[in-house]
Amino acid sequence: MRRAVIIFTAVLGFLFTSLGFGATSALAEGEALQGTLTNASQPVAGVVIKVSDQGGTSAGEAKSGADGKWVVPLKAAGTYKVDLDPATLPQGVVVTTGRTSLTLTVFEGAARNVLFPLGASASSGPGAPAPEDDNSQLSRVLDLIYTGIHFGLIIALAALGLSLIFGTMGLTNFAHGELITFGAVVCLFLNVDNGVPLEVAAVIAVVLGGAFGYFQDRIFWGWLRNRRTGLIGMMIISIGLALVLRYIYLYIFGGSVLQYSQYVAQPGIDLGLISVAPKNLIMDAIAIVVLIVVSLALVMTRLGKATRAVSTNPALAAASGINVDSIIRLVWTIGGALAALSGVMLGIFQGVGYQMGFQMLLLVFAAVTLGGLGTAFGALLGSLVVGLATQLSTLWIPTELKNVGALAVLIVIILVRPQGILGRRERIG
């Protein structure tokens, strides 16, 4: 009884401390919408940008400066409508996509970049208002579906590693979010502070993320395993490790949300009702390839079969001649690399902050639980469901509560299928 009380108090203290600190940081840093207006590589000044919330209430207004830049500070994260006043454009200049109004989601503590590509008008006279899209609601729904899939793929990279670690060790690792942050901050350090191209910095960050996972198990978790530390004790230790790493990131990189030096703003590719930045499509392709390769390796290779054997029955796997410690160490290496890749992509998607991994950890846990604990393919499916539920829920609820949508879906599915979508039933007792 005393042990249960100690564990419950420790977990409760962790949640209150972390959530409270996270709320303070978000308020201190603030959110914003910003952009740079250029035409033929020349800045366009004096253009009025108006921002309103979902209810139509004005959230701010700005005018582009001599360098073409503008910024509208916001009071909170949420979904906002950004309107460019075409009457303030120079004569003969229009928004080339025809969209002078955009609906965008701003994340906590992040400054969202807004792109209005400008070009010469085909007709003479002052820049006339571009025709409004009659299917704006459909366009918004499709944009949220794409954003949900994109975000779901980022979650899936982290969730796959977490699921593999849980499957082989049974450990609920609360420090997995800090592996996500590790990849993002290493990439930021290489790219911004040392001028390494983002593509090269991302590869190095993923390799170092895998090395970080390997040495974590070799030096730390493996030692605890050999001492036969219980899973509950290891879970509490992972909570402490998460706090230590998070405050190390805060001390070194500060509390601001930072951006990489490349690909911060890109003109979108017009895909009909939605416009998608090329960087997002490239990230989607990389994530899909990585997820497919890792999933097939688990099914078709000898190491993959050994991993599944350790996940199913470690004692029987060891009796069959499988080196259980080596397999677990390999899983930690793969999990660290996948988490680092997820962090790099999340940093490109919404900026780099010391709490980014912690803020996504709840969704990663939800994805793993929803898909089925310890199942790789379940983690992938659960991540897509969580990503879509998170984004599409903003059609009916405020963006600040969008995580509630994902958790509501999790609760409903677990009530109907306790083992998760692809999980297996287990006999208890």
Per-residue pLDDT tens for 268-307?
777 777 878 888 899 999 999 999 999 888 888 888 888 8
Q: What is the CA radius of gyration of the chain?
A: 23
In a domain, 50, yes or no: yes
CB 123 within 8 A of CB 369: no
Instruction: Tell me, yes or no, whether 153 and 84 share the same domain.
Output: no
In a domain, 20, yes or no: no
Top pLDDT among 334 and 94 is at 334
CB 401 within 8 A of CB 390: no
CATH assignment at residue 104:
2.60.40.10
Of the residues 104, 132, 160, the one at which a domain ends? 132
- Tokens 């919408």 belong to 33
Listed ranges 31-35, 155-159, 367-371; the one with the highest mean pLDDT: 155-159
In a domain, 424, yes or no: no
Rounded to whole angstroms, the Cα distance separating 155 from 422 reads: 17
Rounded to whole angstroms, the Cα distance separating 226 from 228 reads: 5
Closest Cα partner for 74 from 136, 21, 26? 26
In a domain, 193, yes or no: yes
Instruction: Tell me, yes or no, whether 191 and 316 share the same domain.
Output: yes
In a domain, 6, yes or no: no
Instruction: Tell me, yes or no, whether 110 and 148 share the same domain.
Output: no
Instruction: Tell me, yes or no, whether 306 and 331 share the same domain.
Output: yes
Instruction: Tell me, yes or no, whether 177 and 260 share the same domain.
Output: yes
Top pLDDT among 14 and 277 is at 277
Instruction: Tell me, yes or no, whether 197 and 95 share the same domain.
Output: no
The pLDDT assigned to 41 comes to 60
* Average pLDDT of the residues in 176-198: 93
What is the 8-class DSSP label of residue 190?
Answer: I
Structural domains of the chain, count: 2
CATH assignment at residue 193:
1.10.3470
Rounded to whole angstroms, the Cα distance separating 396 from 390 reads: 11
Instruction: Tell me, yes or no, whether 198 and 344 share the same domain.
Output: yes
Instruction: Tell me, yes or no, whether 407 and 270 share the same domain.
Output: yes
The pLDDT assigned to 132 comes to 45
Instruction: Tell me, yes or no, whether 294 and 405 share the same domain.
Output: yes
In a domain, 425, yes or no: no
The pLDDT assigned to 126 comes to 41
Range(s) of the domain holding residue 406: 141-416
Instruction: Tell me, yes or no, whether 399 and 364 share the same domain.
Output: yes
Rounded to whole angstroms, the Cα distance separating 324 from 252 reads: 36
In a domain, 384, yes or no: yes
The three-point CA angle 119-120-121 to 5° equals 120
What is the 8-class DSSP label of residue 221?
Answer: I
Rounded to whole angstroms, the Cα distance separating 230 from 393 reads: 39
The 10s digit of each residue's pLDDT in 75-105 is 888 888 899 998 888 887 888 777 888 888 8
Instruction: Find all residues with CB under 8 Å of 200, minimum gap 6, and list them.
Output: 190
Distances (CA, A) of 294 to 290, 344, 363, 390: 6, 18, 21, 25
Q: What would the two tokens of residue 81 be?
A: 């409508």
Listed ranges 46-55, 331-340, 380-389; the one with the highest mean pLDDT: 331-340
The 10s digit of each residue's pLDDT in 224-238 is 888 888 888 999 999
Given a cut of 90, whether residue 185 has pLDDT beyond it is: yes
Q: What would the two tokens of residue 154 be?
A: 């980022």
CB 269 within 8 A of CB 277: yes
Distance of CA 298 to the CA centre of its chain: 24
Instruction: Tell me, yes or no, whether 45 and 173 share the same domain.
Output: no
In a domain, 87, yes or no: yes
Top pLDDT among 15 and 246 is at 246
Of the residues 132, 157, 186, the one at which a domain ends? 132
Strands (E), 322-411: none
Top pLDDT among 255 and 212 is at 212
Instruction: Tell me, yes or no, whether 171 and 109 share the same domain.
Output: no
The pLDDT assigned to 153 comes to 93
* Average pLDDT of the residues in 48-53: 91
Given a cut of 80, whether residue 53 has pLDDT beyond it is: yes
| First-last CA distance in the chain | 21
Top pLDDT among 196 and 394 is at 196
Amino acid in position 10:
A
Of the residues 81, 112, 132, the one at which a domain ends? 132
